[in-house]
Amino acid sequence: MADAIVHVMRHGQVHNPDGLLYGRLEGFGLSDLGQEMAERMAEHWAAVELTHLRCSPLQRARETMAPTAARFPHLEVVTDERLIEAANAFEGKVFGSRNKALRDPRMIRHVLNPFRPSWGEPYAQIAARMRAAIADAAAAAGEGGQALVVSHQLPIWIARMDAEGRRFWHDPRRRECTLASVTSFSVSDGHVTDVSYDEPVADLLPTKHGRRFKVGT
């Protein structure tokens, strides 16, 4: 049996009418739909015996955690910088349907090495900080406990690939990490022994051309 389970939840939908790649920028909170996702997830977690709460410092993550934290007033929400979104050189830019930002001559140097990737924080660095944050959350949850962590799509996906021993280079469109989804890590002696994935509010996911829309950070 695992010592603890760390449920890593992605935040809800963000209010972003201009379509910016917002990354770590301040001032990006949840949309009305995102708030509904957070409230529904609070109902989901009410049936789970959570023993620890931990969250990225970014507004959208804190707002996603808030309704659940209100149901567990005896648990302090630990802010963990290691759970933050990945750094990205394209932060604050609009891509649009034709990926305009990628054709900016000033940005060419940032797309030369997709394996690192050259446009932002190295995948290996993301994996290391997420691995440490998950291990600390498991330790804080205690023997047989369950922790809830709120983070962002790319860090969660990299943490999963790291735990599963898979390569970090990937197609962003194929990440299995929708809005308000949960990637759960079973942790024993500080090491991940199993990973599972769930979409408790899949019915709320926005669609594009009849398919679930996964874009966002």
Nearest to 41 by CA among 74, 2, 8: 8
The total number of residues shown for the chain amounts to 217
- Asked whether residue 105 carries a pLDDT value surpassing 60, the answer given is no
* pLDDT tens digits along 113-169: 666 675 689 999 999 999 999 999 999 999 999 999 999 999 999 999 999 999 998
Residues 6+ apart with CB under 8 A from 130: 82, 83, 151, 155, 156, 158, 159, 162
- Asked whether residue 211 carries a pLDDT value surpassing 50, the answer given is no
Separation between Cα atoms, residue 155 and residue 132, nearest integer Å: 12
Q: Is 53 exposed, middle or buried (0-12, 13-18, 19+ CB in 10 A)?
A: buried
Question: In b/e form, how buried is each residue of 138-161, taking b as 16+ CB within 10 angstroms?
Answer: bbbbeeebbbbbbbbbbbbbbbbb
% of the chain surpassing 90 pLDDT: 71
Q: Is residue 105 reached through a cis peptide bond, with omega within 30 degrees of 0 on the bond before it?
A: no
Q: Where are the beta strands (DSSP E) in the chain?
A: 4-10, 52-55, 77-79, 145-151, 182-188, 191-198, 207-208, 211-212
Nearest to 145 by CA among 20, 5, 23: 5
Report, as an integer, the average pLDDT of 63-69. 98
Separation between Cα atoms, residue 10 and residue 157, nearest integer Å: 10
Mean pLDDT, the chain, whole residue set:
88
Rg (the chain; Cα; Å)? 17
pLDDT at 90: 72
Worst-scoring range by mean pLDDT, 69-78, 85-94, 187-196? 85-94
pLDDT at 217: 56
pLDDT at 177: 97
Beta carbons of 2 and 187 less than 8 angstroms apart: yes
Separation between Cα atoms, residue 77 and residue 193, nearest integer Å: 25
Report, as an integer, the average pLDDT of 66-88. 96
